[in-house]
Each structure stands twice: as structure tokens, then as C-alpha cells.
Amino acid sequence: MTAHLQPQDTALVIIDMQNDFCHEDGASAKRGLADIAAFQACVPKIDGLIAHARAAGVPVVFVYMTLDDTTKSEAWTNKHGSEMSIVVKGSWGADYYKLYPQPGDAVVEKHRYSGFIGTNLDLILRSMGCKSIVLTGVLTNVCVESTARDGFMLDYNVTLVSDACAGSSPEAHAGTLANIASVFGTVLDAEQVGAVWQAAAAPVEASA
């Protein structure tokens, strides 16, 4: 189950850990759209994975979402309404929540659920020689699942980290985990993924 986690061809992808989704003063919390506590609980899990990834030489990719008048299509507003204000480009709500890119990390801005739609994520991953992606972030059943599906369709080995992502409800979260494990990839927890990268980093640290 850990064959597709090797540092030389794997990237850690962090999806939409932003104030409007995760902060108690963000848009999602104010509208009662999701269990913010579950989103916040992902932070230490993702932070630990980032540390293991960097130690093992695994590329870290931050994917974040923004919206403005140029990216809200008719289909988007028909579904979500023209007055819905969330992750507005340049706003506090679109800023990162507690987890921030460091020099050398890749950063991808998206305007739809999937990190692959209308972005250079695929180009970045292929340029780094990545064949596998490890997905974390929010929401499990929306942006994370959309990215996982498209990643698999683009021939990446997909691993979803069960306790480093959170959905709009426990049921929605569980449904995505089952769907990914059945059809689109592998589901592991943060300890399992971290153990592989920690073991990979050990020889490097020992020889330093």
C-alpha cells in the first residue's frame, strides 16, 4: 500500500487550507456550511506530513482557491448564487490558514474544485518527475475528491490521507474515502505515510 509514496517520484499536495474554509471567523463557519473543528483538526496532521516530506526530499505543493468576477461563470453562479462571497481574490478569507508555503514549495492557484482544472498543477508535477500524489486538505468530498479523480485520470497514483482531510460532514468524508479506495487510489492515515518518509529520510540524516 506504500509503494507509491517513494520520495523520488511523489509530491505532497495541500488543498484549500484557507481562512474562509478553516477559520472560525471565515465564511464557511459564519454560514454553518461545515464542521470547522474537523477542518482545524487537520492542521497538525498536515504539518507533520510537511515536516516528513521536506526531510525526505518530497516536493510540497500548496493549492489554494480564489474567486472574483472574472472566474465566476454562469454555471457557477447558477449553482452557488451571485451573492456568495468566499475566498475572494486578495481577501483575508483567501489567505492560508496556519500552514504556509516555504521557499522551494510549489504554489498553485485554482478557481474550481479540482486542482487540475485551469491550472499548471499537472505541468509542475510532471516537471518534477512526480508519478504519485498524496492529497490532504479540505473539503474531502469536494475539492480533495475532485483533485483525486482528475489526478487518477491523468495517470497519477493517488493516495488520500484519511485524517489529514475533512469533509462537509462525517458521512460525506467517509463516502469519499470509500470511493477513492474502491476506484481512484489508496487511502492511508498520516502515521502510515509519515513512517515511509521518515524511513526514507533516515539514511540521509545518518550520512549528514
For residues 42 and 170, the answer to whether their CB atoms sit within 8 Å is: no
What is the three-class DSSP state of 164? Answer: strand
Sign of the dihedral through C-alpha 68, 69, 75, 80: positive
For residues 202 and 58, the answer to whether their CB atoms sit within 8 Å is: no
Distance (Å, whole) CA 120 – CA 78: 27
User: What residues are labeled active site?
Assistant: 16, 110, 143
For residues 145 and 161, the answer to whether their CB atoms sit within 8 Å is: no
The one-letter amino acid code at 39 reads F
Q: Which residue has the cell 481512484?
A: 184
The alpha carbon torsion through 115, 119, 123, 129 (nearest 10 deg) reads: -20
